[in-house]
Amino acid sequence: MSAPLLVFLGDIFFMAKDLSEMLRLADADDLQAVLATKIEQNRDAIRRNFSVITGDDGLVRRVIERPRHVRNNLKGCGLYLFDLHVFDAVRRTPRTAMRDEYEITNAIQVMVEDGCRIKSANVVEEDLNLTYPSDLLMVNLKQLRATGRDRHIGEDAEVIDLSRIRDSVLGRHTVVKRPIRIESPVIYDGTVVETERTIRNCVLTPTQVVQCAEVRIPA
């Protein structure tokens, strides 16, 4: 591998402005890493993620995983641009005492202490953790709203009455056999819907239905 790599956590949904800004910043300032960040007013959100401390020159001086004391409003978001220096840092990163895991923030701190040039880029508008089915429903509806649509119908889906579907995401090869009202679900690829009842606020797979609390997405 000879080029920079973009790393992101697989359980987070990102809504970002322009990730190419991270590449431009790395090239312009000869950086070994760029951390995607968000200006976060909710300090509890920073405590659940990690804090990024920078110096007067804009270079990252410290990253703190789940900080107890929040020193600024710069939140790390689990999206990183690294050059090859990261692999050496990972090899020298110890496991954490509390959870016996390797933390990527510890590897970043190793890079900082090695003298690597690292900056942050405020490119993240929203970062949403995917932990529960309701989270999956929320991020799909948020993305639907962000694209200006009231529904997404996947390729080769069979639906009798589109006019009765709103705020909904239907996967590929979905089959809806009756003209029912469908409001705010996510329906997985290949799901066959045979019910005669309204479907609302749920996640449907080919084998099960997971009912969720009502999700309200601001206009």
SS (H, E, C) 120-158: EECCEEEEEECCCHHHHHHHHHHHHHHCCCCEEECCCCE
At 101 the pLDDT is: 82
| Segment 67-101, tens digit of pLDDT | 999 999 999 999 999 999 999 999 999 887 677 78
Can you read off the two tokens belonging to residue 65?
A: 């995983």
Quickly state the pLDDT bin for 185 (edges 50, 70, 90). Answer: very high
Mean pLDDT (the chain, rounded) = 92
Residue 219 has pLDDT above 70, yes or no: no
CB 53 within 8 A of CB 64: yes
Residue 3 has pLDDT above 80, yes or no: no
**Mean pLDDT in residue range 122-141:** 92
**CA quadruple 199, 203, 206, 207: dihedral sign:** negative
At 110 the pLDDT is: 96
User: CA 196: distance to chain centroid?
Assistant: 35
pTM, 2 dp:
0.82
**Mean pLDDT in residue range 51-69:** 95
At 100 the pLDDT is: 77
Residue 102 has pLDDT above 90, yes or no: no
Domains recognised in the chain with CATH numbers: 5-129 (3.90.550.10), 133-211 (no CATH)
Locate all alpha helices (DSSP H) within the chain, ordered by sequence: 20-29, 43-48, 85-91, 104-113, 133-146
Strand 124-129 to strand 12-16: parallel, antiparallel, or no bridges (unpaired)?
antiparallel
**Helices and strands (DSSP H and E) totals, the chain:** 5, 19
Distances (CA, A) of 108 to 16, 47, 90, 129, 157: 22, 18, 8, 21, 45
Can you read off the two tokens belonging to residue 78?
A: 């689990």
| Segment 26-50, tens digit of pLDDT | 999 999 999 999 999 999 999 999 9
At 218 the pLDDT is: 57
At 217 the pLDDT is: 66
CA distance 58 to 175: 53
Residue 190 has pLDDT above 90, yes or no: yes
Strand 50-54 to strand 124-129: parallel, antiparallel, or no bridges (unpaired)?
unpaired
Strand 192-193 to strand 175-176: parallel, antiparallel, or no bridges (unpaired)?
parallel
**Mean pLDDT in residue range 98-114:** 90
| Segment 151-168, tens digit of pLDDT | 999 999 999 888 899 999
More confident residue, 185 or 17: 185
Q: Which of 79, 78, 75 is closest to 43 using CA atoms?
A: 75
